[in-house]
Amino acid sequence: MLKKNGKKLDKDIQKNKILLLGKLFATLAHEIRNPLSVLKINLDLIEIPNSKTEEIEFHESISTSKEAVERIETLVAQTMEFLRGGGEGKTHVSLIEVAENAHKFLLFRANKDNIELITEYEADLPKIVANKNEILQIVINLVNNAMDAVNTDGYIKIKTYSAGAEVVLEVEDNGSGIKPEMQSKIFEEYYTTKKGGTGLGLAVCNEIAQKNGAKLEFSSKYGEGTSFYVRFKKIGEV
Ligand SMILES: Nc1ncnc2c1ncn2[C@@H]1O[C@H](COP(=O)(O)OP(=O)(O)OP(=O)(O)O)[C@@H](O)[C@H]1O
Ligand SMILES: [Mg+2]
């Protein structure tokens, strides 16, 4: 199914990345507003100091302003890294770092929709060999799908753990689940049940997983929820 034309799949990977970036930039634009309004209020305070609490307020304003600037810096830097990244090939990658990046990206939508976005990382998790940016693309797709399935008031867990010869990244949700008769179709290109969906997300995740020597699997119970697993070989295991 996926072993078609390599060029076409590369194009699909790019198309999916642009779609994800569009969503991320929209999030970024919203998220930058908060720290910007903090900065504005603080600048007003500094500009028009008032008598008694002057010095304390001044210092507080400086430190909350710095935090606001740092927040904007991190968000912009992360988005730019995802935009430009990918060309660096395979390196030793910490799945925890990738999961953390995805978490930071997606927290805004999770908060907005009242979805609990939880992370669970196993200590001393061995690194894997992969293209960091491509793995981030997988995680963002999986969490976006989970958020669509959960809708509101649900939870999503991003977990990383080792299991025998493998290191696993799992995205678990308590959303709609997938109907048994649909489960064989979800990895097909253009298969979507969403208004406005491209149906490329999982096909691309599957392709990227294979390119990085990983396997993408899932288990789902209709009406209860779904887990997707990205299974990487531990370094040195065949
Ligand atoms: N966590 C999930 N829970 C329930 N259904 C899911 C989940 N993940 C995927 N699906 C189902 O698999 C289909 C295919 O997913 P895929 O990511 O390939 O495309 P999409 O999400 O529909 O579109 P796009 O990725 O462009 O937004 C979805 O339309 C949905 O029906
Ligand atoms: Mg999707």
| Domains delineated in the chain | 6-84 (1.10.287), 91-233 (3.30.565.10)
User: Is any ligand 1 atom within 6 A of the Cβ of residue 156?
Assistant: no
Q: Residues of the chain with pLDDT > 70: what percent?
A: 94
* pLDDT of 1: 45
- At 73-84, the pLDDT tens digits run 888 888 888 888
- On whether the CB atoms of residues 99 and 139 are closer than 8 A, the answer is yes
Average pLDDT, integer, range 77-94: 86
Average pLDDT, integer, range 51-64: 76
* pLDDT of 165: 93
Contacts of 208 (CB under 8 A, 6+ apart): 13, 134, 135, 137, 138
Structure tokens at 23: 């969503």
Q: Give the mean pLDDT of the chain.
A: 89
* pLDDT of 238: 59
User: Is any ligand 1 atom within 6 A of the Cβ of residue 212?
Assistant: no
> What is the 141 CA–ligand 1 centroid distance (Å)?
9
Average pLDDT, integer, range 105-132: 92
53: confidence class by pLDDT, cuts 50, 70, 90? low
Candidates 5, 7, 19, 52; CA nearest to 141 is 19
- At 8-26, the pLDDT tens digits run 788 999 999 999 999 888 8
Structure tokens at 114: 């009242």
43: confidence class by pLDDT, cuts 50, 70, 90? confident
CA-proximal residue: ligand 1, atom 11 (nearest): 186
- On whether the CB atoms of residues 64 and 42 are closer than 8 A, the answer is yes
Ligand 1 nearest-atom number relative to CA 204: 18
User: Is any ligand 1 atom within 6 A of the Cβ of residue 15?
Assistant: no
Ligand 1 nearest-atom number relative to CA 176: 4
* pLDDT of 49: 65
- On whether the CB atoms of residues 175 and 162 are closer than 8 A, the answer is no
Q: Residues of the chain with pLDDT > 90: what percent?
A: 59
pLDDT over threshold 80, residue 199: yes
DSSP alpha helix (H) spans, the chain: 6-47, 54-84, 95-112, 132-150, 201-211
pLDDT over threshold 90, residue 108: no
Average pLDDT, integer, range 124-133: 94
